[in-house]
Amino acid sequence: MIAIKRRAAELGFAATGVARLDRNPHAAELGRWLADGHAGTMSYLHRQAEKRKDPRLVMAGAKTAVVTLTNYFHGDRTPNLEPQVPRVAQYAWSSDYHDVLGERLEQLARVIRELVPGSTTRCYVDAGPVPERELAQLAGLGWIGKNMMLIHPEIGSFTFIGVVLTDAGLEPDPPFDADRCGTCRRCLDACPTQAFVGPRDLDARACISYLTIEHRGEFDETQRAQVGDWLFGCDVCQDVCPWNVSFARETLDPGFAPQLAVARPDVRALATMDASDFQRRYDRTPFTRPGHHGMRRNAAALLDP
């Protein structure tokens, strides 16, 4: 385990832990969240539910998850004082994290296969039926805050979670059982659209991140007003969290160096850009998720609220 964690640190992961795979202890919460309709049109979450409820079903013979955190914080917590500058969530300020972290996780997986000859591995970051926050908590990397983010006590929550599933029986870390939110509820109160129905219960349909990234089709009048000055994603429920205010530190990772084209995009150009221009400028960036149509819609909502 020490060899795996040492290699993970060399690869740029801020923290690494190991969880034994078992049935998700919060499978019932996931079931209720889906039944309440809180996933909106993210139908893939319904399709993947059984695997998220029991991550052993994701990969035949899988016994353990090596879970990593990567800091993407860029140090800018100031409110948007210039109305012409659209706000983009910090996780999207650089190259597509699926690519950068996918390669690093593959290198980590190779170490596991070398240490346990004959073992197999499979890597996941964001795109897959893996309950990543749940596994991170079980791997001892932090607790799940009232804003549903995995919060590491020394890093905060501006982190990506990356997972290597393996059939190697690695020694697990103790889970992070404490809930360090206490009586705080700043995230719930600060959410601009009151998207939290309660602690750890987010109705994604009202979340700006969902509306600007996952929602397909046009915005209705309510949704147009809800997105406010956010062009892509939203950071409010993380910006206000005292654990980020105290512990989030700017990343120096060259793989996540901010790129102006995504961190401070020209919203007028975006609103009128054709598909090939969009492809040329934003290929291999997080903007490809909503795509040309979605980003044009988001830009139009900012220009004509």
Element at 99 (helix H, strand E): helix 97-115
Nearer to ligand SF4, 147 or 285 (CB): 147
How many CA atoms within 13 Å lie on the side-chain side of 281?
19
For the bound state, the minimum distance from the C-beta of residue 65 to ligand SF4, rounded and expressed in Å, comes to 23
Q: By CB under 6 A, name the one of 13, 73, 93, 160 that touches ligand B12.
A: 160
Tokens found for residue 265: 């995009």
CA distances, 1 to each of 67, 111, 173, 188 (Å): 12, 10, 10, 38
For the bound state, the minimum distance from the C-beta of residue 241 to ligand B12, rounded and expressed in Å, comes to 10
For the bound state, the minimum distance from the C-beta of residue 142 to ligand B12, rounded and expressed in Å, comes to 8
Residue 201: closest CA among 2, 66, 34, 27: 34
150 scored as a contact of ligand B12 (CB under 6 A):
yes
236 scored as a contact of ligand B12 (CB under 6 A):
no
CA distances, 227 to each of 208, 212, 223, 273 (Å): 5, 7, 6, 21
Establish whether 126 is a catalytic residue. Answer: yes
147 scored as a contact of ligand B12 (CB under 6 A):
yes
Task: Measure the CA angle with vertex 186, ends 88 and 136; round to 5°.
Answer: 70
For the bound state, the minimum distance from the C-beta of residue 151 to ligand SF4, rounded and expressed in Å, comes to 6
91 scored as a contact of ligand B12 (CB under 6 A):
yes
- 173 contacts which partner out of ligand SF4, ligand B12, none, CB within 5 to 8 A by kind? none
159 scored as a contact of ligand B12 (CB under 6 A):
yes
- 186 contacts which partner out of ligand SF4, ligand B12, none, CB within 5 to 8 A by kind? ligand SF4
Element at 212 (helix H, strand E): none
Question: Please, which residues bridge with residue 63 across strands?
Answer: none
- Binding segment for ligand B12 (CB under 6 A), chosen from 9-17, 57-65, 201-209, 254-262, is 201-209
Question: Which residues of the chain form contacts with ligand SF4 (CB under 6 A)?
Answer: 145-147, 181, 184-187, 191-193, 195, 202, 207-209, 234, 236-237, 240-243
Chain-centroid distance of CA 176 in Å reads: 19
For the bound state, the minimum distance from the C-beta of residue 130 to ligand SF4, rounded and expressed in Å, comes to 21
Q: In what order do the strands lie in the sheet with 15-20?
A: 15-20, 64-71, 159-166, 121-124
How big is the site for ligand B12, counted in residues (CB under 6 A)? 41
- 160 contacts which partner out of ligand SF4, ligand B12, none, CB within 5 to 8 A by kind? ligand B12
**Active-site position among 54, 126, 253, 266:** 126
Nearer to ligand B12, 7 or 87 (CB): 87
For the bound state, the minimum distance from the C-beta of residue 41 to ligand SF4, rounded and expressed in Å, comes to 16
Burial zone of 192 (CB within 10 Å; 0-12 exposed, 13-18 middle, 19+ buried):
middle
How many other C-beta atoms are found inside a 10 Å radius of the C-beta of residue 169?
A: 11
131 scored as a contact of ligand B12 (CB under 6 A):
yes
In this structure, are residues 217 and 52 in contact, taking their beta carbons and an 8 Å threshold?
A: no
CA distances, 168 to each of 68, 140, 153, 173, 198 (Å): 17, 19, 28, 15, 38
Active site residues: 126
Question: For binding to ligand B12 (CB under 6 A), which residues are involved?
Answer: 24, 26, 29-30, 33, 42, 45, 52, 89, 91, 125-126, 128, 130-134, 137, 144, 147-150, 157, 159-161, 179, 200, 202, 204, 207, 209-210, 213-214, 233-235, 237
